[in-house]
Chain A
Amino acid sequence: MTDLAVEGLVHVYREGSVRALDGIDLRIAAGERVALIGQNGSGKTTLVRHLNGLLRPTAGRVMVDGRNASTMTVAQLASRVGLVFQDPDRQVFAGSVRAEVEFGPRNLGRSGAELHDAVAAALDVTGLTGDEATNPYDLGMARRKLLALASVLAMRTPVLVLDEPTTGQDARGVERVRTVVKDAATDGRTVVAISHDMRFVAETFERVVVLRAGTIILDGSPDEAFAPSSWEALRSTYLEPPLSAVVGERLGLGSTPTDAHVVRALAGKP
């Protein structure tokens, strides 16, 4: 089980001296499902890239399993934190779907039945079973993104970090991602995901962290994060609550972050 702790994290990109993260404090317990939301450019991607050592802090620190990530090698971090990029083309490189998905677990020393099972399970949940021999670049963008997800899933890292996993996915693709997140949490793995899809966030995660200009402005359950009292904060980072929350507020139903909340509140009432 892996706990994550981000303490006073500041990141300044040298290129433009843009202060992308401006003092982030965040503790994530093993097995939590956490969504990171906020407008484009609010620092979400910069934050998650610190979790696997891809970026190093300008100030502050990132603790993985109680150890400072700065003192861990990329290999040590890679066995604990799996990061799926927003753009699969920055990640996918192998000549076949199978080779792509096997690469990570092989690097972690898996072989034989263990390797086979990890790859088969990752292909199954992403709907890529049967495409093992396909060249990744013969898959469309949406399925290439699911392949990038599968290749990280197969590493069975205790922490799974997803950067906008539903972007460009059709309805079935979104359901696959939702299953991945829920299964991972059921297995006790931690999931941290960036998303702009508020309905997906409200229905899939148990905790919502809202970023604005490199700081955390809201941190709570979907009930709290999408309650009318939070809308001002959401709107300050150009987010809108999901439709169900708006309808619930207009009908005086309290906080209704998902459609199911609205249905429960209204069913059986005149």
Chain B
Amino acid sequence: MTLALAGVGYRYAGSRRPSLLDIDLELRDGTVVGVVGASESGKTTLCLVASGLAPRTVGGQVRGRITLDGEDVDAWPMHRLSERIGIGFANPATQLSQVAATVFEEVAFGPMNLAVERGEVIERSWSALDTLGIAELAERDPRRLSGGQQQLVAMAGLLAMRPQHLILDEPTAQLDPAGTRLVGDAIARLAADGASILVTEQKTDLLAAIASEVLALSDGRVALRGPAHDVLRDPALAELGVAEPSTVRLGRLLGAAGVASARYEAALHD
């Protein structure tokens, strides 16, 4: 199953210039595609367009073709798309239903709305909470959690929906390093189970660990693309306002100081 964007552009309602231009993208089963770029380069807009929220709920004008398994989704309503495509926002306050009294109910909310059978909803919800290490929060009020905990709850809700395609906009923005790693592991496992994931991140260390392909956006266009390993060590990233992964940065600084790379490389792979 493939979610594909071909020559896609997008203009927000009332905006004079497009926020996305000429985007070609294929999200194939089992792959994680990372998206990097400076602030306001189009990452969030790409998430809105690829998930179908733009134009369906956000308004604006989309150009080009968006297809699921070759079928044009232009005429699909949001509820039909959302059975296939999950989306997670950077700000968990936007994501939470605001109607659930407990974290468990919050996580179960998504699959319940997909009319998943009750026993399976419960099983999926516990499994998602376990995966993200937050089972002990199950009885807490989701609105009374820290920002990072809320972000994990929102992510658990998405996992419980078992989407075929998942669009994640900076899913670890508010997470501590351990939470970031758990979300990274969860994304990698989803992909291993056959889902496809598009994930925007400022944390290039995380993308280096989980993405197979990386796109770098600049002014709404794809400025760089290719295998994650190559794009994430491309010196052009810095000009695009993207932080290089820690290992790349330290290696570059050592190289500039004339330190032979062999020792450093050995220490990295210890």
* Proximity bits, B141-182, A CB within 8 Å = 1, else 0: 100111111001000000000000000001001111111100
Find out whether the CB atom of A247 lies under 8 angstroms from the CB atom of B39: no
Is the Cβ of B257 less than 8 Å from the Cβ of A263? yes
Cross-chain contact B39 with A167 (CB below 8 angstroms): no
A199 touches B246 (CB 8 A): yes
In the complex, what residues of B have CB within 8 A of residue A251's CB? 263-264, 267
Nearest CB to that of B205 among chain A residues? Answer: A243
Tell me if A244 is interfacial: C-beta within 8 Å of chain B. Answer: yes
Within 8 A of A (CB), among B232-270: 238, 241-243, 246-247, 249-250, 253-254, 257-259, 263-264, 267-268, 270
Q: How many A-B residue pairs have CB under 8 A?
A: 124
Restricting to A129-176, which residues have a CB under 8 Å from any CB of B?
140-143, 164, 167-174
The stretch from A38-46, A55-63, A64-72 touching chain B is A38-46
Given A39-B176, A40-B176, A87-B91, A15–B39 Cβ distance below 8 Å? no
Complex alpha-carbon distance, A239 and B148, angstroms: 14
Query: Which partner residue on chain B sits nearest A13 by CB separation?
Result: B144
Given A143-B39, A168-B202, A259-B250, A87-B175 contact (CB < 8 Å):
no
Find A247's partner among B44, B145, B243, B250 (CB 8 Å cutoff): B250
Interface-central residue, B91, B93, B202, B258, by most chain A CB under 10 Å: B202
> A173 and B39 in contact (CB under 8 A), knowing A39-B176, A247-B268?
yes
Set A89, A140, A269: member contacting B44, Cβ < 8 A = A140
Q: Give, as a whole number of angstroms, the nearest-CB distance from B257 to chain A.
A: 4
What CA separation (Å) do A238 and B259 show in the bound complex?
32
Which chain A residues border B140 with CB–CB below 8 Å?
A: 16
CB contacts (< 8 Å) of A172 on chain B: these are 38, 241
A164 and B174 contact, CB distance less than 8 A: yes
Specify which of A89, A238, A244 lies most central, judged by the most chain B CB atoms within 10 Å of its CB: A238
- A246, B147: Cα distance in complex, Å: 28
Q: What is the distance, in angstroms, from A226's C-beta to the closest C-beta of chain B?
A: 13
From B44, B145, B179, B253, give the contact of A263 (CB < 8 A): B253
- Measured between beta carbons, the chain A residues less than 8 angstroms from B263 are 251, 266
B258 interface neighbour in A142, A196, A267, Cβ under 8 Å: A267
> When the two chains form their complex, are residues A143 and B40 in contact, meaning their CB atoms are under 8 A apart?
yes
**Pick the contact of B250 from A15, A196, A244 — CB < 8 Å?**
A244
Q: Is the CB of B247 within 8 A of A243?
A: yes
Cβ distance B174 to chain A, nearest Cβ, rounded Å: 6
A268–B249 CA distance with the chains assembled, in angstroms = 19
* Shortest distance between the CB of A179 and any CB in chain B (Å): 15
Contact check, B141 vs A16: say whether CB atoms are below 8 A apart: yes
Judging by beta carbons under 8 Å apart, are A238 and B178 in contact?
yes
Nearest residue, chain B, Cβ from A139: B40
By a CB distance below 8 angstroms, the chain B residues around A170 are 37-39, 202, 241-243
User: What is the interface residue range for chain A against chain B?
Assistant: 35 or more
A262 near B: Cβ within 8 Å?
yes
Q: Quick check: is B90 within 8 A (CB to CB) of the other chain? A: yes
Q: How many Å lie between the Cα of A243 and that of B264 in the bound state? A: 11
Beyond A41-B148, A244-B250, A263-B259, whether A141 also contacts B243 by CB under 8 A is no
Q: Which of A230-270 contact B (CB under 8 A)?
A: 238-240, 242-244, 246-247, 250-251, 259-260, 262-263, 266-269
Cβ of A198 within 8 Å of any chain B Cβ, yes or no, is: yes
The CA-CA distance from A246 to B180 in the complex, in Å, is: 18
- Is A168 within 8 A of B149, CB to CB? no
B10 to chain A, nearest CB (A): 15
User: Could you say which of A142, A238, A260, A266 contacts B40, with CB atoms under 8 Å apart?
Assistant: A142
Interface membership of A86, Cβ < 8 A: yes
In the complex, are the beta carbons of A262 and B254 less than 8 A apart?
yes
Docked complex Cα distance between A169 and B242 (Å):
10
21 A-B residue pairs with Cβ-Cβ distance under 8 Å, sorted by A, are A16-B140, A38-B176, A39-B179, A40-B147, A40-B175, A41-B148, A87-B91, A140-B44, A143-B39, A170-B37, A172-B38, A238-B179, A239-B176, A247-B264, A247-B268, A251-B264, A262-B254, A263-B254, A266-B257, A266-B264, A267-B258
Give the interface of A toward B (CB within 8 A). 13, 15-16, 38-41, 45, 86-87, 89, 140-143, 164, 167-174, 196, 198-199, 238-240, 242-244, 246-247, 250-251, 259-260, 262-263, 266-269
7 nearest CB pairs, A to B: A40-B148, A238-B178, A142-B39, A243-B246, A250-B267, A171-B243, A267-B257
